[in-house]
Structures are given as C-alpha cells and as structure tokens.
C-alpha cells in the first residue's frame, strides 16, 4: 500500500528593494513548492532571480504568486479591476517570473493567486474567470493552486486546467470545512507542534479537527505553510519533520 | 543583382495607463520591427498585449525596448544602477514582454535598449556588459539592435550575440559619422521629404550627407523612425514609400 | 437685485512624467477653480508646480483633487482601502499640493475627491468619513466640493466642514436629479451650445431639463466642466461665454 | 561656563507598506532630531503620520529626509535628474511631510538629503543648487543639515540659509577630516562603547581620532547615529548615555 503524498507550499520572494520579508533561504530547505511574488504586490527582479536560482538548485517547484498591482498595500486590498485588465496583469507577472525560472533552468510550474485576489476569486466570478483566462492563454498545461470550493477552481476545471486544492496548516476550520475568519478568536494557530499534528492528519486522512471539536474533511494535495511570520521557518520545519515521521512523502504536486 | 534590403524600426507601446503616446496602430502599418516598451519607462500590460497582438497580425517583429526603471522620467535619466541589478531589470522586462509575444503567437525577436540606457551603454562598459549578460542568459540567439561603434555592440559581438546596427533617418550626422547632439542647431530633421531621401541613401548606399556637407558612411541594417512626435506616422509613411519607390525591400532583420 | 454667481471647476494637472492630459493652460483661462491632481492617480511635482503657478497668476482657486493611490488605473478603480489608511493617503496629497500652492503664493482652498473615490463616497460611509477626517485634521476651514446628497457631503457638514455642491454641465440627469449612468445612451452631452445652455439654466435657475423631458432642481454653487476630452477647452469657453452673456458672475466659491 | 550642547539625528520612517525598517519607536526615545523619509525612497503616508505623531509627542524635531524618486533602489543610486525637476521633487516631499508634521502639531524644522542625493551634492553643484532652491522657496528660515565642506552647505549658506554640520559617530575619518569610503577596511565602526566615546569627543572637543591615529577636527552641531542596522537602538542609547554622563546637553539644533 503506497503511503500518503503531499506538497508543502509557501509564499516566497516577498521583499522589495532594500526591504526583506521572511527567510526565503530557510523555507526553501523545507517546502516543495514556492509561490514566488512577481513584482506587483512584492518581489523585484533581484529577488525573483535569486529565489528562482535557489529553488531550482533545491528541486523546489516555482509557482507564480500573481496579485493585484498594489505595492503599497501588499496586494491585500480588493481592487475593482476590469476582468480584461486583470488577465493582462496576470500575464505580465507570469511572463516576468517565467523568464527568471527559465534562466535558472526550469520554468513556472503552477499559478497561485495572492492575498486579496486569492480571497476575491473564491466568489467573484468575473475576476476568477479573468485569472483562468490568463493561465489558459499563457500555458493551458499549467496547474492552478487554490481553495477547495472556490469559483476560481471551479471555472479553471471547467476550462480544462489542472486544479490543485490546498489546506492551511495554521488556520482554524469551521465544521463546514471553511476557514474561520482571521478576525475571530482562535482563527490562526501558532503552536508548532499543534500545527504539525494537523498537517499530518490533513495529509494522511484528509481531515482536520474543526474549531467546534468536530472532525471535518479537508481535501489537500498541497499544504500551505506561512512564511512571513516570526518563527515561520521553525513551524515549517516542524510540519515537515512530523510528515516525514508519519511516512508521508513530500514532493511537488507538479512532479510526474 | 539583388536589391537593397532594410528594416524599419520604431518605438511603440509607450503609453501608460490612461495616457497615450504616439499612434501605435498607424506605425505598425509602416514599420517592420517594433521596439515595444516593457513597463519600466512606459508601457503597461494592456498596451503590451495589444501591441504584440497587432504586431503579430501584421508580421512586424517584436523587440524588447528595455530601460532603466524610471516611469516618472520616461527612462531618459541616467541611473547609476549596479550592473548585476541592471541585468536582472533587463531580464524582468524581457520575460514580461516575451509572455505577451508568445500569447500573441510569436516571441521576442530582438533587444533594443531605450533612452538614457541606450545612450549610456555607448560608452559605459559595465552597464553595457550587464545588458549583454541579460540577453545571453535569456536567449543567446536573440540579436541586439544598437549604435555602430558602441561599447554595447562591441561587447555583444565579443560574447557571441548577433549584433544589428541602426541609423537614424531624422538625425544629423557629423563628418565622423556620429550623431549631432540634440541640443545643437539642425540636430533633428523635420521635413518628411528630406528624411525620406536620407533613408533611401542610407539603405542603398550606406551613407548620408553629414551636417558639414561631406558624405559619410553609415552602416544600417535597420533604420529608426521616430514614433512619438506629431506627424510621426506621416514621416514614417514617406520613408517607406520612398524606400519602396527605390526598390529597397523592407523586412525585419530577424527574418530568415 | 444681485445677479447669479457661479464657480466653474475642472480637473487639471492630470498628466504624468512625459505624458500629457488635457490643456491645462487653456482651461485656466476659463475656469475659476482648478481641481489639481496630487500625484496618486495623476500629476507629478513638475506639473503640480506649473499648474499652481499659473493658477495663482490667473486668480484661479487651487483645490486638491485627492484620489486612491492608483497611477496605472488613473484612480478610476474602487480600492478597498482601510479608512485610516485612506485618511493618511488624503493627508499626504493635501500636504504635497499645499506646498506647491504656497510656493506659488497662495494655498489649497478646497478639496474634491477624484474618480472612483468620488463615486465611492457617494454611498460608502466609512471611506467618506475617512476623507472628512483628513480634511478636518488638515484644516477644518477647507471647504469640500462634492455631489448633492452624497454621504461625503452629509458627513462633512455634520463634522462642521463647509460643503459646496456641484452640477455637471455635460451629464444627463434623471427626473430624480441623479446623474444618468455613463453606460446609458445620452448620458454624456457633447454639443457645446447645448451644454452652455444647460450651464446657464443651472446657474440662474438651479434646474436642468432631465433626460425624460421634465424639469428637475439641481443645486449648484459650482459647475464642473470636463478637461480631458478633445474639444474640452472649446466647450468650457462656450459655457463661460454663455454665462457671461446671461450676466452670471463667475468667481471661485472660495472667494470672500 | 556653559557645557557642550549637541543634537542627535537619525533616519526614521524608512519602511514602506507592509515592510519595516529599523525601530522608529526605539530611536525616538533616544534622538533629538528625526530625518523622516518622505515617500520617494521610503516612507508612506501611514508611516509618516505615525512617526510625526510620535516625534511631536516626544519633543523630537522633524526633518525632511528628501531623496531621489527611487523606491526600488532606496534612493541609493545616483540619478541624473535635471535641476529644475529635482527642485520640484524636493518641494513635493517637503510639502507632504509638512502636512503630517502640522497635523501632529508641529512643522518640518529642517531638511537633510538622503543617500545618493546626500553624497552627490557634496560635489555636484547643479543638483546642490537645486536642493537649496527648493528650501529657499519653501521656507527660507528652514535650516539644512549636511556634510562640512560640501557644495550643498556652501551654496545654502551663500543663499542665506541656516546651515548645520553633522559628524558620523560610527564612521572612520581620514587625517584630512573626510569620511573613509565605506568600501575600505575599518570604515564603519560597530562597537557601541567605541562609538559612544567618539561621540563624546566630537561633542565636547569637536575632534575625532582619525584612522591613521592622528587627531582631526570635526565640527558637529549634530551627531548622526544610524537607525537601520541591527542593534542600532542599542548603539544610539550608548551614545546618549555617554553624552549625558559627560554633561553634554542633548537638544535639537532647531531649538531656540
């Protein structure tokens, strides 16, 4: 009987100019897929090049972490961008990152929207369709990574794209399998051991203990670990160690 | 005996957001190579996409018009960018434009630096080498378009890149074959008929009448026409008509 | 019996870098209040300085045309900016423009939000309150210019600010006195004579012919003429000439 | 006999959006003058407002840390900006910061150029004159803070501005009283005790031990401590404690 297989993804390359964000190098030693910022909410050519070089060196898959064009807001604010413009913004970011990925000897392997765009296209059909359209036009073989049940993944699947669902190791879930809003108490977990235990259960049994104590199913081909909080690398290491101890194989979902 | 062959290049896609610059569509009906702005001095995803789509439709070769990162200054101000950073800035622009070119069904066919970067790397060895390095890493088969005698073309050639020289149809030349500085009287020509006549002589005889009345050699596989001045399209049309009347074949230098 | 008095306002200084937008100098010879872009949706230090200098020279009142921070979208896209951040964005723009106004010998005399922000705070209470808060903190004596019936003017008035209502000379109105949406047929008028005639009726009788042929009241201490369309200056001149012919006095609403 | 008096200045507010830089709050408890970034190389409206509010609360003088417009390069790259444009860029920054300073209950008290601009106008007469021109136009009573012997201070003085010289507590000096270039060994000191001892000698005797062991005069009405390095606050605290132990009075040079 083959064991469980899971991917570990995290947001990387989210500094800008002289400003840093998180420990890219530390995370690249732990994760299997890197969501690399493309210069619209964070990231600049130097950072993109360095992260791509390191990712290829370590066998980590490079994904395009596409975003609204909002450096001042880190892509965390909804913008009412016309769908056609959003498609072009995503294409710009995809192309730019792919250039660095190719220079590093690989290429962009998947797409994961960032921040407010990620959250918006859970329900906003027109913007979700615009992101799908960009991926289709760029390379219809590129998988998209997103939230189970989102409009984005539904439209992507309908358009023939490969869709990959993710779960969040450090976020609380409702009994209905949805994320507890960040504003609510207990929404974000901080204890590395608890997070690691949840990760194992997600990977092995595709379920998690909901905030009300019930058990809820969470499909997850990929587990998202956060990179920009203090101690992020330690938590990610704990998650990886626990998965390995449970005989869960860690590999990019893009691996053949 | 085969007749003369020449390429006509112009800067395109130099609007930004709601601001326009020049008549991209008009020029695309006249030129054979489009130097497309990549978002650092001008150009945005919408404009890049539209210009690439139209260029491919009309058989115009797409070139990356790479620049310093200076939207407020339109890339016209020297910036003392570290060479390694300049290489990455160029790679970013190349990748982003190539994405749109590929979506349109073609790809970036050559590289031509813009504005202050173009002028700087006539002599600035370190920045010239940085641009060469970017092209080499991105695609060593990409030709570079530049000024005869420039450090840029010299280093590009030494690195094994294909180099293509251009002449300026509306600029006065010194007896030594150099451009008369823009500040000096008579440096820029405005009369369409005179410009067209010079273009034919450049294409057929590889020479031009210098500002002192002497005849000077100007090698030119490509002729640059300007796109951002009033009447630019009319001048470009006059140049093209005169070349065709003189049996000069117009085709991209990238054509095989 | 004193005659009618009205102010003519228009958006100015909406170029950026090498890109131009409208005929600032032409409009400054016609209007009495200039809504000057402050660098967030358009405008840069050079343009702001020049417009302020010319405005003071011609006795035109300088208003801060504050906006979302969205140069690529010209401030025309709703952004879900947190109210506290919006307050600070408005303060930044107010201070920057006031610097140029003071260097020119005057100061910022009023505030008028731009584009998507203008439209949003017709109903969005939290963002409307954020703009009001910025004006209050900067200078509680600064009037705000806006749409009659908007949340913005209601909250501004409640906070003790001077509020000034404007009408749009080239926009169709419903029988209820609201603007016909831009998407609908007949929403925007283009005929200079018709626009001028409406302007006179607005100034003299505070009413306008609605799109259904009925007469509707439109309070208007200021009339907005558009600056960024072709022929904008000609229309503005026609409006001014018609107002003067009807003995309507033209002066900034900020005049004492 | 009155004791020595000195000012302690540091760069503050140099984060941007979600990115942080240094410990603004920690430094504000130590320094007497804050060089506040104005949004061109770093700083944004939220940061500017917060730093101004805290500075006023703690009696720290607010200075405008004006820069080239280069967020991606943190203002550390020379830009060949035309003098007239540089004047306007400086005015923009001055006005924007002054807005926040006034909202906080004070106003901008002095001007100190940042990074590459600071270094450039040590010798670049045209750019130095452009900065002087901006200060003169904005408020001829505003002091400028700079390097002894610089073109900037010389031109500022000739124009009638108040000039204030600063010394660097953690930088090595040559026997000629110039800064040792950062690239050279020993150019930057890191030991808090050594830095504090030098600060006292600068404040009390206006001299410092040069890198060759000789004693050299360094006039310094203000001492610059760095804010963006790890341990910066600890070093600043050590400097302040040593100055206080030596009975040196610490107060803004702008105090009357």
SS (H, E, C) D33-63: EEEEECCCCCCCHHHHHHHHHHHHHCCCEEE
Spell out which chain A residues touch chain D, with contact meaning CB-CB distance below 8 angstroms: 15-21, 42, 44, 71-74, 76
Spell out which chain B residues touch chain C, with contact meaning CB-CB distance below 8 angstroms: 15-21, 42, 44, 71-74, 76
Token readout for C170 is: 């080239």
Question: Which residues in chain D have their CB less than 8 angstroms from residue B80's CB?
Answer: 77-79, 116
Cβ of D74 within 8 Å of Cβ of A18? The answer is yes
Cβ of C91 within 8 Å of Cβ of D49? The answer is yes
Cβ of C102 within 8 Å of Cβ of D138? The answer is yes
Q: Which of A181, A153, A179 is nearest to A167 (CA)?
A: A179
Question: Which residues in chain A have their CB less than 8 angstroms from residue D15's CB?
Answer: 19
Per-residue confidence band for A2, with pLDDT thresholds at 50, 70 and 90? low
pLDDT at A149 over 60: yes
- In this prediction, residue B1 carries a pLDDT of 47
Cβ of B88 within 8 Å of Cβ of A45? The answer is yes
Give Cα C206 distance to the centre of its chain: 18
In angstroms, what separates the C-alpha of B81 from chain D's closest C-alpha? Answer: 6
SS3 of residue D131 by DSSP: helix
Query: B44-81 burial by CB neighbour count: b if 16+ within 10 A, else e?
Result: bbbbbbbbbbbbbeeebbbbbbbbbbbbbbbbbbbbbb
CA angle (D110, D111, D114) in 5-degree steps = 145
- In this prediction, residue D1 carries a pLDDT of 47
Question: Which residues in chain B have their CB less than 8 angstroms from residue D82's CB?
Answer: 77
- In this prediction, residue B227 carries a pLDDT of 81
- In this prediction, residue A256 carries a pLDDT of 59
Neighbours of chain B (3+ CB pairs under 8 A): A, C, D
Neighbours of chain A (3+ CB pairs under 8 A): B, C, D
What residues contact D219, with CB distance under 8 A and at least 6 apart?
D148, D165, D167, D206
Across the interface, which of D18, D44, D71 has its CB nearest the CB of A17? Answer: D71
What residues contact B73, with CB distance under 8 A and at least 6 apart?
B41, B116, C17, D79, D81, D85
Q: Which residue has the higher pLDDT, D46 or A183?
A: D46
pLDDT at A87 over 70: yes
Question: Which residues in chain D have their CB less than 8 angstroms from residue B73's CB?
Answer: 79, 81, 85
Neighbours of chain D (3+ CB pairs under 8 A): A, B, C
Residue C106: enclosing H or E segment and its boundaries? Answer: none
Residue C152: enclosing H or E segment and its boundaries? Answer: helix C151-158
Q: Which of D223, D222, D246, D247 is nearest to D235 (CA)?
A: D223
Token readout for A14 is: 């989210």
Cβ of D18 within 8 Å of Cβ of A44? The answer is no
Average pLDDT rounded to a whole number, residues C188-217: 96
- In this prediction, residue C256 carries a pLDDT of 59
What residues contact C7, with CB distance under 8 A and at least 6 apart?
C32, C33, C61, C164, C221, C222, C223, C250, C251, C252, C253
SS3 of residue A41 by DSSP: coil
Beta C5-12 vs B249-250: how paired, if at all? unpaired
**What mean pLDDT is reported for chain D?**
96
- In this prediction, residue B182 carries a pLDDT of 86
**What mean pLDDT is reported for chain C?**
96
- In this prediction, residue D229 carries a pLDDT of 78
Question: Which residues in chain C have their CB less than 8 angstroms from residue B20's CB?
Answer: 19
Q: Which of B6, B1, B2 is nearest to B199 (CA)?
A: B6
Across the interface, which of A49, A88, A102 has its CB nearest the CB of B88? Answer: A49
| ipTM here | 0.96
Across the interface, which of A69, A77, A81 has its CB nearest the CB of C81? Answer: A77
Quickly name the fold that domain C5-250 has: TIM Barrel (3.20.20)
Cβ of A92 within 8 Å of Cβ of B137? The answer is no
C225-244, pLDDT tens digit by residue?
A: 988 777 899 999 999 999 99
Cβ of A72 within 8 Å of Cβ of D17? The answer is yes
Per-residue confidence band for C2, with pLDDT thresholds at 50, 70 and 90? low
CB B171 within 8 A of CB B180: yes
In angstroms, what separates the C-alpha of C99 from chain D's closest C-alpha? Answer: 4
Residue contacts between A and C (CB atoms, under 8 Å): 28
What residues contact D147, with CB distance under 8 A and at least 6 apart?
D118, D122, D153, D165, D166, D179
In angstroms, what separates the C-alpha of B84 from chain D's closest C-alpha? Answer: 13
């Amino acid at each position: 009987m083959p064991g469980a297989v899971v991917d570990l993804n995290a947001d990387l390359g989210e500094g800008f100019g002289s400003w840093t964000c998180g420990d890219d190098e530390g995370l690249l030693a732990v994760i299997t897929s890197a969501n690399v910022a493309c210069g619209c909410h964070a990231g600049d050519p130097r950072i993109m090049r360095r992260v791509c070089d390191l990712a290829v060196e370590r066998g980590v898959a490079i994904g395009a972490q596409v975003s609204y064009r909002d450096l001042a807001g880190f892509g965390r604010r909804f913008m009412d961008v016309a769908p056609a413009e959003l498609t072009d913004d995503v294409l710009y970011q995809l192309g730019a990152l792919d250039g660095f990925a190719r220079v590093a000897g690989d290429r962009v392997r998947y797409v994961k929207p960032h921040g407010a765009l990620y959250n918006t296209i859970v329900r906003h059909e027109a913007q979700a369709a615009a992101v799908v359209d960009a991926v289709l036009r760029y390379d219809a073989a590129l998988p998209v990574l997103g939230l189970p049940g989102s409009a984005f993944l539904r439209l992507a699947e309908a358009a023939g794209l490969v869709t990959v669902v993710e779960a969040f190791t450090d976020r609380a879930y409702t009994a209905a399998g949805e994320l507890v809003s960040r504003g609510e108490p207990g929404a974000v977990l901080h204890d590395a051991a608890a997070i690691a235990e949840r990760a194992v259960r997600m990977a092995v049994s595709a379920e998690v203990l909901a905030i009300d104590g019930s058990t809820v199913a969470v499909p997850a081909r990929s587990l998202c670990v956060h990179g920009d909080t203090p101690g992020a690398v330690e938590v990610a290491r704990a998650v990886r160690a626990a998965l390995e101890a449970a005989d869960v194989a860690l590999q990019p979902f893009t691996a053949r």
